[in-house]
Amino acid sequence: MKKTVTRLADGRELIYYDSGSPGGPRGLPDRRDLGRVAASSEIRTDPLLREPVGYAAHRQGRTHLPPADQCPLCPSEGGRLTEIPDPEYQVAVFENRFPSFGGGTGRCEVVCFTSDHHASFASLDEERAALVLDAWTDRTAELAEHPGVRQIYCFENRGREIGVTLAHPHGQIYGYPYVTPHTARVLESVAAHRRATGRNLFDELLERERGAGERVVLETAHWTAFVPHAARWPYEVHLYPRRRVPDLTALDDAARAEFPGAYLELLRRFDRLFGEGAAPTPYISGWHQAPAGASGLPVEREEFALHLELFTIRRSAGKLKYLAGSESGMRAFVSDVLPEAAARRLREVASG
């Protein structure tokens, strides 16, 4: 992997990742006349739930569903200047101009998976998917050293139904300035299980799913993908490396080599869930990693198991799962699809 670091006109960092030698120049100057980013955010804590809530009013002005010929994530060509000054790229990462966290408290980055505006992650080849994994890993390592970052979440939102405002294939990386409520609760469960049984809860969950088999949808020598026993979403898959590691930086070479094939197969199955001619399946996919640094955690960070969670809000060909009264008001999920049925369907649409 070749990494090239440069700056945009307003001082934001831009990083190119290439497999082997780049096909063109890297680090061309950003010729736009941009003012400095004036992002400010505030974090408040709900006293009843004891959960942080972020406020970023400057995000109201962010780019919203531009036409393809005005996409800010495409390469700069001719007289049209974008967030990517070079005329082509493989994978590019840059600081978000409209971040949810800013001013030294946390960090938000955009990850462009390809310069092809009409592609998707599922249409990438394994070499490009491996390069994206390298970029995620590199950013995880660097952001873990950032003084304002406590947890790193690499994720992709795909589809207008999810709320995507830019159609170009891309994801984001959030460097949260706190441990997220989701992860905090998971760590408490892991700590309680260790005290009660002497065993790791993640290890037991993976052993149980592999042993039962009915919710396993894909297995390789180093990865297992399954629908959780208590899945919240209509179609939800968790992808675990067989060897427990706390974050992306700790994956061994064998697991890294197998990941692209396994992940691309899962994404392609998601697009086949609802039959021929169905619109591309909207989804959210993200890496759950141990917090950066062990201070203040109820258990050692090595007790956490890196895993990817992939889910869709589509419950049938023409219907979406809305988070209405019960889910939004009380956080009490009720699903229309049994996990075992979802797993069967995901096995039915396997490639070949």
Domain limits, the chain: 2-176, 181-348
Question: Which residues of the chain fall short of a pLDDT of 50?
Answer: none
Global pTM reads: 0.96
At 252-283, the pLDDT tens digits run 999 999 999 999 999 999 999 999 888 999 99
Q: Which residues are catalytic?
A: 170
Residue-wise pLDDT for 41-89, tens only, equals: 899 999 999 999 999 887 877 787 899 899 999 999 988 999 999 999 9
Domains 2-176 and 181-348 agree in fold: yes
Options 1.10.274.100, 3.40.50.720, 3.30.1490.20, 3.30.428.10; which CATH number does 181-348 get?
A: 3.30.428.10
Distance between CA atoms of 90 and 75, rounded to whole angstroms?
10
In CATH, the number for domain 2-176 is 3.30.428.10
pLDDT attached to residue 62: 79
